[in-house]
Amino acid sequence: MIVRPRPHWIRLLFVRRGSLIHRIFWQQLFVFVLACAVVIAHGQLFDWKVTLNAAPFSLMGVALAIFLGFRINASYDRYWEARKLWGAVLVVARNLARQALTLLDQGREVRPFVLGLIAFATAMRNQLRGRPRDADLNGLLPQSVLVRLANARSAPMLILLWLGEWLREQRHAGALSPMLAQHMEQGLDELSAALGGCERIANTPLPFTYSVILHRSVYLYCMLLPFGLVDSIGWMTPLIVAFVSYTFFALEALSDEIEDPFGTMPNDLALDAIVAGIDASLREMLGEVPPPAPKPDGSFFLT
């Protein structure tokens, strides 16, 4: 995800990073060259005059825009739900860390539990992004737990299991009352629910046929558009076609990009920054100095 200050409106016109230009450049070039060829041929295709005008494209453009709007809304719903689930992970992790630090008997070592919450967020990110299970977990979990994670299919759930076992040990030792232990277990249940929600989003993409229909419609519309404009606007046809096709191609590419919000594309969720925020927040509660926070990218001009 691009995290940076909003640039001046003039610079915003020339920003490349996040504008999807790199993804649709060749499609744009193809449509532009096709429009130039149509203008040179005066709208003829193999000595046959293509009798089209702007009227049908106005109707099709409205319908296609509505269709694209549904696609964008469906993708953004997935993106926003994923962001809310990660926000819940942050809030619940803070609450559990605070409860462990204030509700357990004084003198009880709670640092392993708090670090385990950081490990859960890290393992959750690793699983959603397909990273190695033990990536960035060294120093957060006991070695015995790391060994259990080596061949685990769901490392975050095993970490939650270990956190639950830690609470059971504190309850049996008399450091935590059964009522407080049950209350903290509810927090672990909320972390499990957030993980399940993210897995549902990651493992259930939008129907493939939906994307195919939209993709074909956009390309057919943009390829036929020059024939409908050439008789009315002449040499301005390539520029108008390039502008219209940029809108449609970019919206289609954006919807495809945010459909999976856990990826590493520029417009996906900033999971590394979210996990770093959880890490910093919980370490401060432990009285430790957190690592430096990620800074927004300030190189926004022509990037």
| Domain-located, residue 214 | yes
Task: Give the pLDDT confidence score for residue 70 in this predicted structure.
Answer: 87
| Domain-located, residue 47 | yes
Residue appearing with tokens 């609470």? 167
Task: Give the pLDDT confidence score for residue 185 in this predicted structure.
Answer: 93
Task: Give the pLDDT confidence score for residue 197 in this predicted structure.
Answer: 96
| Domain-located, residue 58 | yes
Task: Give the pLDDT confidence score for residue 9 in this predicted structure.
Answer: 55
| Domain-located, residue 112 | yes
Task: Give the pLDDT confidence score for residue 278 in this predicted structure.
Answer: 94
Predicted confidence (pLDDT) per residue in 176-202, tens digit: 888 988 999 999 999 999 999 999 999
- Please name the amino acid found at residue 292: P
What's the structural domain count of the chain? 1
Question: For residues 222 and 245, is the Cβ–Cβ distance under 8 A?
Answer: yes
Instruction: Write the DSSP string, 150-197.
Output: TT-S-HHHHHHHHHHHHHHHHHHTTSS-HHHHHHHHHHHHHHHHHHHH
Segments in the chain below pLDDT 70 = 1-19, 43, 45-50, 107, 293-303
CA distance 206 to 201: 9
| Domain-located, residue 30 | yes
| Domain-located, residue 225 | yes
Beta carbons within 8 Å of 284's beta carbon, 6+ residues apart = 290
| Domain-located, residue 57 | yes
| Domain-located, residue 4 | no
Question: What is the SS3 assignment for 45?
Answer: strand
CA distance 256 to 212: 11
**Structural domain of residue 44, as residue ranges?**
9-285
